[in-house]
Amino acid sequence: MSDLFNPTEEHKVLREMIRSFAEKELEPQAEEYDKSEQFNLELFRKLGELGLLGVTAPAAHGGSQMDATAAVIVHEELAAVDPGFCLAYLAHSMLFVNNLAVNGNEEQLARFLPGSCSGELVGGMCMSEPGAGTDVLGMSTVAIEEDDHYVLNGQKMWITNGAISDNELGDVFLVYAKQEDRSARDISLFLVEKGMEGFHLGQKLFGKLGMRASTTAELVFEDLRVPKENLVGTPGKAVRSMMRNLEIERVTLAAMSLGIARRCIEIMNDYARERTSFGKPINHFGQIQRHIAESYAEFMAGRSYVYDVASKLGPEGAGDRIDSDGVKLFCSTMAKNVADRAIQVLGGYGYVAEYVVERLWRDAKLLEIGGGTIEAHQKNITRDLSKIEKIR
């Protein structure tokens, strides 16, 4: 019988490798970097040594050329230990590397992918703005074509890997901007590099509820001259590539939810087996049994959904949008609820850092917001369902 979660021997070996890495390398530093709200660049680069920063990128440019299921495995395993670090990894490996690998030309791939796959470069993607998050077509960053370059003006907000330290920009970003005097859907995609005149770090955001081990920043473009060779794809035609890349982003964000939920279930299961009250282990009491059993059932339902959808994603990371929305909608709330139950089972111990679940609970909340809010997924799914008569 085939294993949905490890469909090939290669997937099984990958899971074992990344789980070992997460336990040995990620676990010891997770609490420290959560408290300091810093990005562990040295550890991030170790993922490059393992071939994971370009997990879906072509081998010809330094990637591992694996499939969406492999990407899901990596995100599940990293998030089970340190979701914040995993979010930085996702922004780099999916939103930058995978996006560029699918949409860039050969010259762009040769320039940027080897360094991105090794960890020499830290990348990200810029779409959200202070006044345009879910409404991506409402963005106001503008690109004006002039001779052999484009001039960009605007701001991007909530950018993961926007700052790799308090005052240092990330290395390279894929930036979405409107074409001047065109419709809202005429959006282009540009490669913007650290050091370009007019490209600034607006602010690094501190005091986040969770995902503190990934940096979040505002990026500012002031008369930024971007050479035409840094235009990715066809001018004004980036909406399609944007939407397709969002599919694999949402599936891997759902995989992060799986990692959070799985770790919470393991912790509350162990605790309920060992902790006694009124002379019995607390897992003998119905209230506790309900928390554990419902958490496991919901986790396994979500896990099966995610791996099924991942198995159907094509080489461009796109499949059926209704289900990329569906897995993110279901799993993000599932993980938050499971983490909440874990805190309840552990009582006072769940409320402090020693047992990890309070950090996982804080991290889980972001997944109902980032990469598309749950309300956006509800809207998309309802709209897509209205176009069909029967569910296959």
CA distance 11 to 29: 26
Count the alpha carbons within 13 Å of 378 in the hemisphere toward its beta carbon.
Answer: 7
Annotated catalytic residue: which of 77, 249, 358, 368?
Answer: 249
- Other Cβ atoms within 10 Å of 116 Cβ, number: 28
Bridge partners (DSSP) of residue 177 are 188
| 378 in Cβ contact with 329 (< 8 Å) | yes
The label of the residue with tokens 């002039």 reads 146
For the chain, give percent helix, strand, coil, nearest 5: 55, 15, 30
Q: Identify any residues that bridge with 144 across adjacent strands, giving them in sequence order.
A: 151
Burial of 28 (0-12, 13-18, 19+ CB in 10 A): exposed
Number of neighbours of residue 4 by Cβ within 10 angstroms: 14
Instruction: Give Cα separations from 293 to 270, 299, 329 (angstroms).
Output: 13, 10, 21
Longest dimension (CA), the chain: 80
Contact (CB, 8 A) for 291 and 341: yes
> How would you label 202-223 residue by residue, b for 16+ Cβ within 10 Å and e otherwise?
bebbeebebbbbbbbbbbbbee
Place of tokens 């990620």: 26
Active site residue 358: no
- Token pair, residue 392, equals 């296959």
Which amino acid is residue 312, in one-letter code? K
Find tokens 């499939």 and name the residue. Answer: 67
Distance CA 256, CA 65 (A): 21
Q: Could you tell me which of 163, 162, 164, 188 has the C-alpha nearest to residue 175?
A: 188
Give the phi and the psi of residue 40 in degrees, each rounded to 5.
-85, 85
Taking a C-beta distance cutoff of 8 angstroms, is the pair 153, 102 a contact?
A: no
Whole-angstrom distance, CA of residue 246 vs CA of residue 373: 12
- Give catalytic residue positions: 249
